[in-house]
Amino acid sequence: MPLLLHIDSSPRSASVSSRLANAFAEQWKRQNPEGRVLHHNSSLEGFPYLDELFIDASFTAAETRSAAQNEALGYSDRLVDELLAADVVVLGAPMWNLSIPASLKAWIDLIVREGRTFAFAADGVTPLVPPSKRVYVFSSRGGAYPPKTAFQQLDHQEPYLRRILGLIGLTQIEFVYADHQSSSPEAAAEGLARAEARLAALMR
Ligand SMILES: Cc1cc2nc3c(=O)[nH]c(=O)nc-3n(C[C@H](O)[C@H](O)[C@H](O)COP(=O)(O)O)c2cc1C
């Protein structure tokens, strides 16, 4: 049974990124009627931040961890299990302060786990997540950061997500942008329409 892991990260009820990610999930479900969708909203669920116990536990060999250390890793283990089980991952990710919401970063901190999603190697890092999984990122932004413009270098969202998800093996990533959401209503509507057209093309 195929599994779609769907993670939104905007707390807004009128969220554009969540609306797009949700439209993707609904279409995916229509195309995969036997499939299952697992949904989180990192902003509403309050994924825990890493503390000292977690960090010590995550760098302790599994067979020597104490009960307290195993418990400290429990939340992260469940999120990693979900990621490893998923065939497709969809992220709703508003641009916040040139990057992603802190709650989405909290999810990343919980799933980038030595020994579970990556391993240290002599020359760097070996990804442990199978590269077959596809990732779709639906990002809404107040402005726009097109390639080959002065604004591109301000975008710390796409380069960061590509780098960190690639590090664990998620290299097949599509970004869909709803730009200009803080501009005029016309520009915002046009930005959304472009994103919806791209979504439709991706689902064909
Ligand atoms: C805290 C915060 C920070 C933001 N920072 C940026 C930014 O750096 N660049 C930008 O283009 N838009 C920025 N915006 C605008 C949002 O990206 C835009 O409103 C987007 O549609 C929000 O996504 P959502 O509709 O899914 O909540 C910011 C909005 C908020 C609330």
pLDDT tens by residue, 15-56: 999 999 999 999 999 999 999 999 999 999 989 999 999 999
Instruction: Provide the mean pLDDT of the chain.
Output: 97
Is the C-beta atom of 18 inside 6 A of ligand 1?
Answer: yes
Dump pLDDT digits (tens) for 73-94.
999 999 999 999 999 999 999 9
Q: Which residues contact 204 (CB under 8 A, 6 or more apart)?
A: none
Model confidence, pTM? 0.97
Q: Judge residue 29's burial from the number of C-beta atoms within 10 Å of its C-beta, 0-12 exposed, 13-18 middle, 19 or more buried.
A: middle
Other C-beta atoms closer than 10 Å to the C-beta of 202 total 13
Q: Which residues pair with 121 in a beta bridge?
A: 124
The H or E element containing residue 25 is: helix 16-31
Domain parsing of the chain, residue ranges: 3-202
For the CA of 95, the closest atom of ligand 1 is 17
pLDDT, average across residues 156-168: 98
Distance 139 CA to ligand 1 centre (A): 9
Distance 140 CA to ligand 1 centre (A): 7
Of 76, 77, 89, 91, the residue nearest 131 (C-alpha):
89
Closest residue by CA, ligand 1 atom 3: 96
CATH class, range 3-202: alpha beta
